[in-house]
Amino acid sequence: MVVLCLNCGSSSAKYQVYDWENKDVLAVGVVERIGLEYSTIEHKASGKEEYNAQFKCPTHKEAIELIINMLVDKDYGVIKDVSEVGAVGHRVLHGGELFKKSTLVTDEVVEQLKTVIPLGPLHMPANIMGIEAARKVMPNVPHAIVMDTAWHQTMPPEAYMYAVPYEWYTKYNVRRYGFHGTSHLYCAKRAALLLGKENKDTNVIICHIGNGASVCAVKNGVCVETSMGLTPLEGLVMGSRSGDLDPAILPYIMNNTGMSAKEMDTTLNKKSGLVGICGHADRRDVEKAANEGDEKSKLAMAMECHRIKKYIGAYAALLGRVDAVVFTAGVGEMGPTIRKGAICDMEAFGMKLDVEKNRICKCRNGEFEISTDDSPVKIFVIPTDEELVITEDAVALMNGTYDVHTNFHYSFEDASYVNKARAKGLVKDLEKKPELKAILALPKR
């Protein structure tokens, strides 16, 4: 049996195919430009040549049909027949307060998801289109939804409520929901394993730093605070999102420029953050420009690091005891400059960064410890694996064994767990950079 993991955006559909019996990734890919004049597909199957082509995909239905055709293709495919797909897991941005854990898809569930669209108008319509399209293409296969917000449902009211009129919560569901939950779940449980502690005894701060970015405070194995809010706009300085700002700025600028609410929303989500400061969203471009003397790029990097550090310090205060700080996602895994700027000079909090370990740590195929040997708080770099969480939730739901994460055991919580694709990649990485071996973090329970 294979499990298909789907992550549908407004004009894209990312996918991964997982061999459940052999516990291995068979293929990954993405269809982009859905609904435009032509669409493109990038398909990478294990042991086969990468495939790139253009097709007509006016809707997500055609895009998912294209994905299925690629999976069974005689030259580039990984299965013989679509009947080998035993379950489909869908990543969904927002569950509101309706969905506190992953669930199987029914017609009723789809209708309930539609009521959450106002809380995630940029992402939810595409998520739902992907679910509906996949169910049409594969009507006899169990489909499961895994919400980015579900992990954060353990936050107490003092953390998730905003100090605004209470009826905004009761009438319009205004509260902090948090996002990147699937990533935070994976990293929290891997960090506990690396620390040699049980989840219920573990306090960690997780920094998911990518184009979108968030910080999560985990106390006794569950989320108690996170930086994103009603939407993924709040919190850190991101690639194109502003993060925290004085709300009075919005009416001030709108009154001075005549900008509409929709234009303001677009500006804060797509034209702010690093792009707004220096014109670049990709941290590699920002760092390159900064190294070449561009003052705005230097400022953008300093602002991002300052904001991350501020959240780490605040969450350390909330937790009282911190066992580890974790960096994950694209920048968190591959950005030593941002990591250094975010956590240097934090010795007062027990966080001692080893500058040399941090410098050499640029690898997505292993877990690494970049703190000094005598650091009271460990600093880890853990490559996230949201697709594996989605896959395991989908299979458990299909088998009737699923439960909330505090009552559920994932394969990656075992010391014996091995990500086969990453293990192969790590061998090659160590051949190129043997110094990485000295900073590998290994399970302690």
DSSP 3-state of 37? coil
Give the model's pLDDT for residue 444: 87
Report CA-CA distances (Å) from 27 to 60, 87, 148, 215, 338.
19, 15, 23, 30, 31
Window from 55-64, 312-321, 389-398 with minimum mean pLDDT: 55-64
Q: What is the mean pLDDT of residues 197-209?
A: 97
Q: pTM score, two decimals?
A: 0.95
Q: How many whole angstroms separate alpha carbon 19 and alpha carbon 24?
A: 5
Q: Which positions are catalytic?
A: 148
What is 198-382's CATH number? 3.30.420.40
Q: Beta 12-19 vs 39-45: how paired, if at all?
A: unpaired
**What confidence category does residue 445 fall into, taking pLDDT thresholds of 50, 70 and 90?**
confident
Give the model's pLDDT for residue 31: 93
Amino acid in position 368: F
Window from 56-70, 339-353, 383-397 with minimum mean pLDDT: 56-70
CATH fit for domain 2-147, picks 3.40.50.1860, 3.30.420.40, 3.40.190.150, 3.40.50.11540: 3.30.420.40
Give the model's pLDDT for residue 120: 85
User: 78-137, pLDDT tens digit by residue?
Assistant: 999 889 999 999 999 999 999 999 999 999 999 999 999 998 887 898 899 999 999 998
Q: How many whole angstroms separate alpha carbon 300 and alpha carbon 303?
A: 5
**Domain boundaries defined on the chain:** 2-147, 198-382
Give the model's pLDDT for residue 219: 98
Answer yes or no: is pLDDT of 37 > 90. no
Q: What is the mean pLDDT of residues 57-62?
A: 89
Q: What is the mean pLDDT of residues 168-195?
A: 97
In the chain, what percentage of residues exceed pLDDT 70?
A: 100
Q: Collect all residues with Cβ–Cβ distance below 8 Å to 72 and sequence separation of at least 6.
A: 79, 80, 81, 82
Mean pLDDT score of the chain: 95
Q: How many whole angstroms separate alpha carbon 197 and alpha carbon 321?
A: 14
Give the model's pLDDT for residue 126: 87
Q: What is the mean pLDDT of residues 315-329?
A: 97
User: 6-33, pLDDT tens digit by residue?
Assistant: 998 878 899 999 999 999 999 999 998 8
Answer for the pair 217, 223: CB distance below 8 angstroms, yes or no: yes
E-assigned strands of 195-323?
204-209, 213-219, 222-226
Q: How many whole angstroms separate alpha carbon 371 and alpha carbon 434?
A: 19
Q: What is the mean pLDDT of residues 271-284?
A: 95
Report CA-CA distances (Å) from 350 to 10, 227, 371, 374, 377.
43, 22, 10, 9, 5
